[in-house]
Amino acid sequence: HDDEDGDTTSDIKLQIEDEGAFPTFIPKIREITFSSKMALEHGQKVLYVTERAVFRLTEQGLKLIEVAPGIDVEKDILAQMDFKPIVVEEDIKPMDQRIFEKDKMNLYDDFFDLERGLDTRVEYNQDTNTMYLDLSGFYVNDAETVDNSFELFEGVLEKLTKGGQQRVNLVVNYDGFDIRDELEEMWFHLSRKNEEKYYSTVSRIKGKR
């Protein structure tokens, strides 16, 4: 498959035929439309996704976390950047190969099956004793989803807080979160219960409340 940048996929491998005229990542820009500093201050999880790789924003800078199949990290990524990202080989995973296939990716379950995607929605920072819960884009349309969600949350919190004996700080991202009107009271009642038992502080980023 050919695309506008001259990249092709063959046997689930990306092959670079011609490099683009302009680099994706540069050290300086003329205008700031997104502040990574503010995103970090608000506990937002930020990913930079290209056709070759995925980077995560960290306190130390951009970290390479995923690479497309067939891509050489040194030649196809690092050599094409004007600055060096954080690279820890054992932390780099392959990008989802479904991205490069012709068939549909069937993303519905990935986005709305909270249990299967919980490992990507919850992070814990031991240094700050903070749990980051990413509910961005999550849709709640029935009471079963509410019950299942909080059962999962509480399972994680029980381990982190040793059954509520020690509290954690919570930063929850509600950006793009949506819930049926009749379920709001149920959801936030359970949220308050968790707040009373598990959290020292709670910070919320955007969302329907």
pLDDT digits (tens, 9 = 90+) for 143-175: 988 998 898 889 889 999 988 899 999 999 988
pLDDT above 60 (res 207)? no
Which three-class secondary structure state does DSSP give residue 193? helix
Q: What angle do CA 169, 170, 173 make, to 5 degrees?
A: 155
The pLDDT score that the predictor gives to residue 201 is 95
**pLDDT band at 87; cut points 50, 70, 90:** very high
Task: For residues 13-24, give the mean pLDDT.
Answer: 74
Task: For residues 112-127, give the mean pLDDT.
Answer: 72
Instruction: Return the residue matching tokens 């056709």.
Output: 51
The pLDDT score that the predictor gives to residue 10 is 46
**What pLDDT digit, counting tens, does each position of 31-66 carry?**
888 888 888 888 788 899 988 999 999 999 999 999
The pLDDT score that the predictor gives to residue 41 is 85
Contacts 24+ apart (CB under 8 A), 84-93: 85/25, 85/55, 85/61, 86/58, 86/60, 86/61, 86/62, 87/63, 88/63, 91/63, 91/65, 92/64, 92/65, 92/66, 92/67, 93/65, 93/66, 93/67
pLDDT above 90 as % of the chain: 35
